[in-house]
Amino acid sequence: MTVRNFEGVSDQRKAAHKRRLDAWALLRAGRVHAHCAMYIGGYAIECKLKSVAMETFGCRTLSQLARKLDLDDASVYSHGLEALAILLPLYSTLKRSSAWRDFAGEVNRWRPSWRYDPNDIELSKATTFLEAVDRLYHWLDSNQC
């Protein structure tokens, strides 16, 4: 049986959309799920950055993207949001936009290791984080070439 690794551009585009909706659904479920909402929300941006990079460079998969940009696979399969953002031709535009403050102030705190954190978090913190995720997500949608 072949294991799918969901590295395709449409996988990542759809996953970005779904993880964003999942994150808000978790947040609406109350404070006990707020930390997980933030954790899932970070993946929405990771997937979005990957899909925008693939779309911009006309690649169908992350492996193709790595070859096109002459990078090793680790650079494009990364969970590091800074490392992924820098791949985008619109990176310098992003850094001069208001969305950069959402990125630097909230979204870039995200770590995959949050899944191991058993502590609850205030609803207001998670809400602020997801609002920043939303603004950055829409900025990436509106500004991709």
Partner 1 sequence: MPQARRRPKTHPVRSRNEVKRLVYEAFRKEFPEDTVDLSDGYKENIHVMVVSREFDRMREREKQDLMWKIIDSTDLSEDEKGLISLVFPVSPAEIK
- Where does this chain bind partner 1 (CB under 8 A)? 80, 82-83, 86, 92, 95-96, 100-101, 103-106, 108-109, 124-125, 128-129
Nearer to partner 1, 55 or 80 (CB): 80
Minimal distance, residue 18 CB to partner 1, in Å:
25
The least distance separating partner 1 from the CB of residue 94, rounded to whole angstroms, comes to: 8
Q: Are 89 and 145 in contact (CB under 8 A)?
A: yes
Which CB, 105 or 112, lies closer to partner 1? 105
Q: Which is nearer to partner 1, 9 or 45 (CB)?
A: 45
Q: Is the CB of 58 or the CB of 112 nearer to partner 1?
A: 112
Q: Which two tokens stand for residue 135?
A: 């603004």
Smallest distance, Å, CB 50 to partner 1?
16
With the C-alpha atoms ordered 5, 77, 86, 24, is the resulting torsion angle positive or negative?
positive
Contacts of 16 (CB under 8 A, 6+ apart): 44, 45, 46, 47, 48, 51, 137
Helix axes 9-28, 123-143, angle to 10 degrees: 150
At its nearest, how many Å lie between partner 1 and the CB of residue 8? 25
The C-alpha angle 61, 140, 69, rounded to 5 degrees, equals 35
